[in-house]
Structure 1
Amino acid sequence: MLELKNISKIFPGVKALDDVSIKFKSSEIHALLGENGAGKSTLVKIISGVYKPEKEGKIFLNNKPYEINSTYEAIKNGIITFQQELNLLPQASVAENIMIDKLPVKVKTGILDWEEINRVAKKYLDLIGLKVEASTPISRLDTAQKQLVRLAKALSSSNIKVLILDEPTASLTKKEAQHLFKILFKLKKEGILIIFISHILEEVLQIANRVSILRDGKCVITDDIKNLDRDKIVRYMIGREEDKRATFINTVDRNKKVLEVKNLTKEKKAYDVNFTLYKGEILGFYGLVGSGRTELAKILIGYDQYDSGEIIINGKKASIRSIYNTLSKYNLGYLSEDRKKEGLILTDTVKTNIAITIWDKIANGLGLVSSEKERDVAWKKIKDLDIKCTGLNQKVGKLSGGNQQKISIAKWLAANVDILIADEPTVGIDIGSKEYFAKLIWNLSKMGKSIILISSDMPEIIKLANRILIFSQNRIVGEVDNSSKDYEEISVKITECISEFKVVNV
């Protein structure tokens, strides 16, 4: 149905794709896998009309040569792409965002038919199982709900022949993901080709018919899923065996309390929260999406002000007024779960994004930032974290997801924070990068840094954390000692904490 032959793409200094040939079939879910920077995003942008391949590359749609000159042409021909970074209009309604490219008007007056707009939008909200009013402003939705709106927008196209889904389950609960898979199975039966991109290999093994794997811009294999297992997929992706060390062992100084939170409350965001973080500790925050972990983190960093309670840092009551104040006075940093919106300035350079947290430290008496010091700091972090970029002046928005995440953490390492809140640090990055970040977080704790690790990835949090606090409905509902690092034992305890709290609050 869709065939790519000898597709290459060259950017200044980088060959992003190198002679890639893949044949996609109708009525199948075809997984496209690879590490960050392997070429997946570039290939998707060629299929969807954002980029043109080099001259030797050919695309065939339904056995006919097909030259895609724009995203509009791709959409017109039934090639629909869901991208995680697709921007929504925050002040517009859910219905407007879903229907923005197909707004119906009343025949007689020519004005927008709002009743029809909301009716059609609701049909797609019901399809994906999102229970919000079509008239709700996007700004009122949480991250997971926005993700579902993006999915609804992709599915609302009336002429879908090829549906490309790039990390569609990021931010979704398991229940929401399973509901999405049921929709995909239905679309597959209707003859639609689904190209599915995900770093969650368990999902790929569950729903894919065939798999193509890219590595360093080349397609290293295309095969039926029945001929592959998780280990084989990882080996093709990273070119070696996965590091399966079960645990990371670090030393926690229980005599040194670096952060104490007492009876912290913020209406609708945190209720009577109490916990202690020790020097060198990795403290896990686990819970379902929307359980209140990120909301608490944003209170701790000064993004939101709390109504009552106390925050004590290094034995002294803290007066947290802003994010800048939290960093400059209390040496506390926050690695955002939404790196594109909150963690990075995508339109600015690698150098600026890394050095921004230390500008006040490297400025002269007139407040002018030293370019030489800025360069030195940025280059050091690029080398330390093995960031793949063309240079200090490359725009961060042009980097792969894994390298963007490295930039996000580089700025906090540059600031030499003592406490780092890492919010979903491995969402949307590949197996190799996940290994890297696990080791990085562990090494920071060995250096005496204290880490709050917010993660919805249960294996990851059990692998890394010393203790795990369980969140539900904006409260801490339990604490699990994770010293055994035994997955079966700890996962049962976590699940029991969440389910018991729900029973109590029925």
Structure 2
Amino acid sequence: MNSASAELMSVTDAIPVKKAFNSEYVLEVRDVRKEFPGVVALDNVSLRIRPGTVHALMGENGAGKSTLMKIIAGIYQPDRGEVRLRGEKVWLPTPLAAQEAGIAMIHQELLLMNPMTVAENIWIRREPKNRFGLVDHVAMNRMTQELFDRLNIDLDPESEISELSVANRQMVEIAKAVSFNSDVLIMDEPTSAITEKEVEHLFQIIRDLRARGIGIVYITHKMNELFEIADEFSVFRDGQYIATCASSDVTRDDIIRMMVGRDITQMFPKEEVELGDVVLSVKNLTRDGVFRDVSFDVRAGEILGFAGLVGSGRSDVAEALFGVKPADSGTINVFGQDVKITNPHQAIKLGMAFLTEDRKETGCFLPLDIQENIQAAVLHDQYVDGAGFVAENVLEDRSIEICQRLRVKTPNMHERIENLSGGNQQKVLIGRWLLTNPKILILDEPTRGIDVGAKAEIHSLITQLAHEGVAVIMISSEMPEVLGMSDRVLVMHEGHVTGIVDRSEADQVTIMDLAAR
């Protein structure tokens, strides 16, 4: 039997049930400490995962969850403490060492290689070879299809990653992690970019893996997921371990108090605001093959929610409004004037701002520091004097003020943004657009990957901006967020507007009915 056939057999067979080992826990972390410049990310934390269970890890952004997972996955090394796998102490100097030891991780920020195919991404470094020592692409595609059939994933193994939606890329990451047949599987925000139907599909995969004895560490900010899929959970706060409980023993409010150290009385602080004149009017906006005849108005002080399933065209409309991918036809009217927006710079000059849904790919300049990231949208116009010089002191003071307002956790403004938690990166990006003093603010998934405390803060900020007369378009895949924050909800399905519903008439059934038409 050649190597390709052997590998094919390993994926077409059922996932093997894990062998017993001499420990109650498949994974133990003992007294781990990790420091970065100016920040104690983990302060002597411990964690224990039983085989055949789903263990949710909860905490605000910056609590240390992802740092601990990166230690377990071999990306970081602890300054102190130890990791035990199947009862034995292990040293994991690299991600490859962790994979070989039996630990796989699905990262919150997807790590796929865009120019390569789906199959090439899944089997990288494990490619089947033919008798000449070359990659056997036929066997590799067949192996991938067998894996997808077992997981009920409907994707073409030969598609390039760059052609896939964020949701489908997430499914590729899940399949890749499952392909390792590991004892421990770490999932960091695996549902942040997939639909409700795909979430249920993922949960079925998780239940199957759990039944086969795999220990699953599941990081999420979504409380409903914890109660639906997790057997137990642990809470971290400010780099410290707080508690571990069975999910059946606590309420949602109990968990929030443990996470944030305080009660959050109002998650959706929507207030009635006297609406002003129409500031943005869109008529029959069309981008061929993507969306068609999209029409709506937004008034000063209004929050217009955009709802719809992934792929409905919501984000595409936002990109057209901001000139990222301009529309082919239709009209955009800003403050009573018809305008043609062909690039973001034009949109910014008109008083528009746009927070994109993917902070890593299209938001953050990861090698740059916080100050450079937050100032990126204003250096061409605002804060520049007549001689073309930047008013650095004024700009720096304003940047610090905004970061303090948004409660960005950082030792200083010169910390590289890639060292921040996902939630703090999101706050910096929101701060970037606040610095432009926008009149029309487009927010695409503003709280994706954000903890419950930061969500409440961002929702409060959106309400404050509406009070100040800013017109807000808020795209969100979270139904409670859309219903809780919007004055009206525009619903899209397959590139068409299927309805615009007033807040007083909007409920989950109505919105989902329109989204599925």
TM-score range (shorter-chain normalised) is over 0.9
Distance of aligned partners of 1:245 and 1:425 in 2 relative to their CA distance in 1, 3 Å threshold? closer
In the TM superposition, what is the alpha-carbon distance from 1:247 to its structure 2 partner?
5.0
> How far 1:368 moved relative to its partner?
4.3
Q: In structure 2, what residue type is equivalent to 1:88?
A: L
1:376 and 2:397 matched: yes
1:148 corresponds to which letter in structure 2? M
CA drift of 1:462 comes to 1.1
What amino acid maps onto 2:478 in structure 1?
A: D
Aligned to 1:456: 477
Contact persistence 2:268–2:481 (CA under 8 A): no
Of 264, 285, 296 in structure 2, the residue corresponding to residue 242 of structure 1 is 264
1:34 aligns with 2:34: no
**Structure 2 partner of 1:5:** 30
Whether the 8 Å CA contact 2:269–2:459 is kept in 1: the answer is no
Matched, 1:207 2:229: yes
Matched, 1:324 2:345: yes
Segment of structure 1 superposing worse, 362-371 or 349-358: 362-371
Partner AA of 1:84 in structure 2: Q
2-structure distance, mates of 1:112, 1:301? 44
Q: Match for 2:158 among 135, 138, 152?
A: 135
Instruction: Measure how far apart 1:68 and its partner are.
Output: 1.7
- What TM-score, normalized to structure 2? 0.92
Partner SS state of residue 240, structure 1? coil
* Long gaps (5+) in structure 2: 1-25
Conserved in 1, the CA contact under 8 Å of 2:269 and 2:463?
A: no
Determine which of 235, 238, 253 is the counterpart of 2:275: 253
**Correspondence 1:69-88 to 2 at 5 A:** 69-88=93-112
Do the aligned residues in 2 keep the contact of 1:480 with 1:490 (CA within 8 Å)? no
The answer to whether 1:116 aligns with 2:136 is no
CA contact (8 A) 2:268 2:456 kept: no
Distance 1:299 1:174 in 2: 26
Moved more, 1-10 or 446-455: 1-10
Q: Is the contact made by 1:250 and 1:445 (CA closer than 8 Å) also made in structure 2?
A: no
Deviates further, 457-466 or 235-244: 235-244
Q: Does the CA-based 8 Å contact 2:439-2:471 persist in structure 1?
A: yes
Name 1:263's counterpart in structure 2: 284
Within 2, Cα distance between the matches of 1:365 and 1:245?
Answer: 44
Paired residue secondary structure (2:139): helix
* Alignment match of 1:356 (pick from 376, 397, 409): 376
Aligned to 1:504: none
Distance 1:35 1:141, change over 3 A: same
CA distance in 2, matches of 1:31, 1:200: 11
Please tell me the residue identity of whatever aligns with 1:122.
Answer: Q
1:402 is matched with 423
Asked if structure 1 preserves the Cα contact closer than 8 Å seen for 2:110 and 2:169, the reply is no
Alpha-carbon distance between aligned partners in 1 of 2:267 and 2:316, rounded to the nearest angstrom: 32
Work out whether residues 118 and 157 of structure 2, in 8 Å CA contact, stay in contact via their aligned partners in 1.
yes
User: 1:61 and 1:213 mapped to 2: Cα distance?
Assistant: 21
Report how far residue 245 of structure 1 moved.
6.0
CA distance in 2, matches of 1:184, 1:259: 44
Aligned partner of residue 160 in structure 1, secondary structure? coil
Matched ranges for 1:38-187 at <5 A: 38-55=63-80, 57-107=81-131, 109-157=132-180, 159-187=181-209
* Aligned partner of 1:386 among 397, 402, 407: 407
Could you tell me which of 468, 471, 477 is aligned with 2:498?
Answer: 477
Q: Is the 8 A contact 1:351 1:374 kept in 2?
A: no
Tell me the amino acid that sits aligned with residue 459 of structure 1.
P
Could you tell me which amino acid in structure 1 is paired with residue 438 of structure 2?
A: V
In structure 1, C-alpha distance between the alignment counterparts of 2:509 and 2:86, rounded to whole Å: 50
Deviation, structure 1 residue 12? 2.0
* Contact 1:278–1:450 (8 Å) recurs in 2: yes
Q: Give the AA of the match of 2:113.
A: L
Match of 1:253, SS state, is: coil
What is the CA-CA distance between 1:357 and the residue it aligns to? 1.1
1:278 aligns with 2:303: no
1:494 is displaced (CA, Å) by 1.3
Deviation at 1:296, TM superposition (A): 0.5
- Equivalent residue pairs, number: 491
Shift of 1:366: 5.4
Using the TM superposition, give the Cα deviation of residue 71 of structure 1 relative to its aligned residue in structure 2, in angstroms. Answer: 1.3
**Distance in 2 of aligned mates of 1:155 and 1:269:** 33
Map of 1:420 onto structure 2: 441
TM-score normalised per structure 1: 0.94
Question: 1:313 and 1:124 mapped to 2: Cα distance?
Answer: 50
User: What percentage of aligned pairs have identical amino acids?
Assistant: 38
Q: State yes or no: 1:198 paired with 2:223.
A: no
Deviation readout 1:284-342 (Å, 9 max, x if unpaired): 101111111001101111111212111111111011110111112x1111001101111
Q: Does 1:224 align with 2:241?
A: no
Determine helix, strand or coil for the equivalent of 1:497: helix
Contact 1:205–1:229 (Cα < 8 Å) also in 2: no
* Residue of structure 2 equivalent to 1:493: 510
What CA distance in whole angstroms lies between the structure 2 residues aligned with 1:364 and 1:242? 43
CA deviation after TM superposition for structure 1 residue 32, in Å: 0.9
Structure 1 residue 246: Cα displacement: 5.7
Per-residue deviation, residues 20-43 of structure 1 (Å, max 9, x unmatched):
122211111111111101110111
Out of 85-94 and 351-360, give the one that drifted further.
85-94
Per the alignment, residue 20 of structure 1 pairs with 45
- State the shift of 1:128 in Å: 3.9
